[in-house]
Amino acid sequence: MSHLFTSSSDGHLYDTRVNGWSHLAPLRRNYRRTFARIRNVPEFKATLRNGAYAWPGGYPLFFITSDGAPICFDCARKELRNIYSAIHDHRSDGWRVEACDINYEDADCYCDHCSKRIDPAYGD
């Protein structure tokens, strides 16, 4: 919706229809923000919303599960129910996302679910 604004500086969601919206509390805090350590479902959702590339720099991001496996953003979107449930229930079943990181130089980083290559930021 065109009246909703997500701040690129704090990641909060604001409603611009309200007079003085920039001085008021946001509708939702941390709506779109990358969390390096993911402790709950809202942090996972905010990180997923923020996208697969870090800002600034455009470095490729990926998720890390509790068993250390990398998961690409596409698979994280496809497997939302499994990930939400695993995070919420603190299960170590291969779906609990615990972190988001940048792939700086690992040319052999592949998504554990779909085997798609997660490109390194600094080439091969």
Query: Quick one: pLDDT at residue 124?
Result: 65
Query: Quick one: pLDDT at residue 56?
Result: 82
Helix H or strand E encompassing 6: strand 4-6
Confidence check: pLDDT of 26 > 70:
yes
Total Cβ atoms within 10 A of residue 114: 12
Instruction: List pLDDT tens digits, range 67-94.
Output: 999 999 999 999 999 999 999 999 989 9
Domain coordinates in residue numbering, the chain = 1-32, 33-124
Instruction: Tell me the three state secondary structure of residue 78.
Output: helix
Please state whether the predicted TM-score (pTM) of the whole model is above 0.85. yes
